[in-house]
Amino acid sequence: MITQTTDKPSHSKPVTLINFIEVWRYQPLPNEVVDDGQAGSLRLEKAIRIDDGVPSQIERSTTEIAKGEQIAGSAWQQESPVILQGLSSAEIQIAAQEADVPITAMLAIPIYREFILVDVIVLGLAQGNGGIELWTRDDRDELGISGSCYRGLESFEFISRFVKFPKGAGLPGYSWKFGQPRIIDRPQTNPDFIRSFDRDPAHIERCIGLPIGREYGFPASVLLMLSDQSTPFANEMDVWHCASESPTEEHPSPKIRFQNSHSEVGSEEKQKWCQTICDQIAETRSTVLISQGNELPPQFELGIAMPIFDGQKIKDVFIMLL
């Protein structure tokens, strides 16, 4: 069943590549010692479709899964983002049928607090240009590409097969070394982005690097999202860095403060909204999915905010506004 949440917008912002979002919440077994994070299940918190920019809540046929089941359970089992693509995928077909939107690829992003799973976010992608890359450590202590999905990036895809990133090099190496999400605008003119899109029809205007999990003191993997000008992943993206003061004897639990580390959201209204979302993330310590009617700026239909942890502490918050 599909429940409409808003009227069709009159604005003309681009239709986003993301047209389906699920948030799965990790549920431990009763009386389980949660520290191992190996038992329990994933329960569906919310499923949203986006049709021509309009979000609607949907009811999925499956609302609880075990480790290894479906794409969300696979991300939990592999402790890594998982990419599905191709119309032959049964899971993509079921999701597209139940959401009543065309889905040509799916991406599952696990969120970890130290070594414990918190959420798995599943994104369904419509047809359009753009790319997803998964970078993981190899035996030479460099990042190599281990999973990908490209649209309109044929020459870029070919080059990427042979590229390696040491710590600190390029966008993947930066997020790997510092454990921080980073956004690069206009990568063609940015010296920190060392690959080229010149020969491809896609017009990549923004690249996002997200650190995932922890391993040997560094992120276990780095997820890159390559956002096209005509079919962006989201209409605005932002990274907020935790700037809270250290606990003291007088204030053992200081209020967590955040500062904008990527100046995408400019107006005072949107700044206030993002701060409110960061406060919610600090309180719930999990992903926040917001639709209109919940302090969302009127020019956007849906927002999703993901916490990035450093051990038990929230280090950054990545926000996408659709």
Q: Residue 294 and residue 275: Cα distance in Å, rounded?
A: 14
**What φ, ψ does residue 98 adopt, rounded to 5°?**
-70, -30
- Is the domain of 176 the same as that of 247? no
Query: Domain span at residue 2?
Result: 1-127
Q: Residue 208 and residue 185: Cα distance in Å, rounded?
A: 9
Last residue of a domain, one of 108, 127, 146: 127
Percent of the chain surpassing pLDDT 70: 86
User: What is the maximum span of the chain, computed from C-alpha positions, in angstroms?
Assistant: 59
Judge residue 166's burial from the number of C-beta atoms within 10 Å of its C-beta, 0-12 exposed, 13-18 middle, 19 or more buried.
Answer: middle
- Is the domain of 123 the same as that of 133? no
- Is the domain of 10 the same as that of 97? yes
Would you call 294 helix, strand, or coil by DSSP? coil
Q: Residue 300 and residue 109: Cα distance in Å, rounded?
A: 23
Which contacts qualify for 241-244: CB closer than 8 Å, 24 or more apart?
241/180, 241/315, 241/316, 242/313, 242/314, 242/315, 242/316, 242/317
pLDDT number for residue 206 = 94
- Domain count of the fold of the chain: 3
The alpha helices in the chain, defined as continuous H runs, are 70-78, 90-99, 154-160, 170-178, 268-284
In this prediction, residue 9 has a pLDDT band, given cuts at 50, 70 and 90, of very low
Q: Chain-centre distance of CA 286, in angstroms?
A: 13
Q: Looking at residues 155-178, what average pLDDT do you find?
A: 95
| pLDDT for residue 69 is more than 70 | yes
Q: Which residue has the tokens 């406060």?
A: 279
Specify the higher pLDDT residue, 86 or 90: 90
pLDDT number for residue 3 = 54
Q: Residue 136 and residue 155: Cα distance in Å, rounded?
A: 21
pLDDT number for residue 306 = 95
pLDDT number for residue 6 = 43
- Is the domain of 9 the same as that of 122? yes
**Inter-residue contact 317 to 276 (CB < 8 Å):** no
- Is the domain of 119 the same as that of 15? yes
Q: Looking at residues 283-295, what average pLDDT do you find?
A: 81
| pLDDT for residue 269 is more than 90 | no
Q: At 213, which CATH number?
A: 3.30.450.40
Last residue of a domain, one of 87, 103, 127: 127
User: Residues 50-62, buried b or exposed e (16+ Cβ, 10 A)?
Assistant: bbebebbebeeee
| pLDDT for residue 1 is more than 90 | no
Last residue of a domain, one of 205, 230, 255: 230
- Is the domain of 106 the same as that of 197? no
| pLDDT for residue 178 is more than 90 | yes
Query: Which segment, 25-29, 121-125, 182-186, is predicted with the most confidence on average?
Result: 121-125
**Inter-residue contact 184 to 190 (CB < 8 Å):** yes
Q: Residue 110 and residue 72: Cα distance in Å, rounded?
A: 8
Determine the number of helices (DSSP H) and then strands (DSSP E) in the chain. 5, 18
pTM of the predicted model, to two decimals?
0.91
Phi-psi region of 187 (alpha: psi -120 to 50; beta: other; left: phi over 0): alpha
| pLDDT for residue 216 is more than 90 | no
- Is the domain of 315 the same as that of 240? yes
- Is the domain of 122 the same as that of 217? no
- Is the domain of 188 the same as that of 256? no
Q: Residue 320 and residue 155: Cα distance in Å, rounded?
A: 28
In this prediction, residue 200 has a pLDDT band, given cuts at 50, 70 and 90, of very high
Q: At 100, which CATH number?
A: 3.30.450
On the CB side of 86, CA atoms within 13 Å amount to 6
- Is the domain of 12 the same as that of 116? yes
- Is the domain of 238 the same as that of 226? no
- Is the domain of 318 the same as that of 306? yes
